[in-house]
Amino acid sequence: MRTYLYRAIVHLSKIIGTWVFLVFAWIVATGFFMLFPMRVNNSIRFYQALFPGRSWFYHLGCAWSQFHNFTDVFFDRFMLQEFDDLHYTSEGMEYLEQTLQKKKRRYSFDVACWELGGGCSPFEAEPSGQESAPVYGGKA
């Protein structure tokens, strides 16, 4: 059933426009937000730990943004897979490939998923006026 619905949405998006896919993805994200309160509660607790001085409504808004930012990622993947006219450039990959070819060691790369932030910056200013430490490492 899900496969047929997804294929129908993709087909309609190709005919009518990509806004159909965006509306459908927004409805799905809203459904997940409403139908899975434990997941929402986990997100709220995460944002409460991340931003302890903020209100519950701020944390709820961050959780709402988190659920709906996944639609952006899903839409990007959809555009990449379904439309051939998408152009992009990639820089720096050749340096990584050269490094990996020169040495026979294993390398570990830490790639942060910034979509997790739900539109709330991990560098929010603290009430004292200083920037807080980044959530996923790096330099403050």
Per-residue pLDDT of 13-54, as tens digits, reads 888 988 888 899 899 899 999 999 999 999 999 999 999 999
pLDDT of residue 63: 94
**105 alpha-carbon distance from chain centroid:** 31
For the beta carbon of residue 90, count every other beta carbon within 10 angstroms. Answer: 6
pLDDT of residue 92: 72
| Residue 59 token pair | 């944390």
d(CA 32, CA 40): 9
Can you name the residues that pair with 131 across neighbouring β-strands?
125
pLDDT of residue 129: 46
* Interior/surface letters 32-64, b for 16+ CB within 10 angstroms, e for the rest: ebeeeeeebeebbebbeebbeeeeeebbebbbb
pTM for this prediction: 0.56
d(CA 109, CA 93): 13
Which parts of the chain register pLDDT below 70? 1, 84-90, 103-140
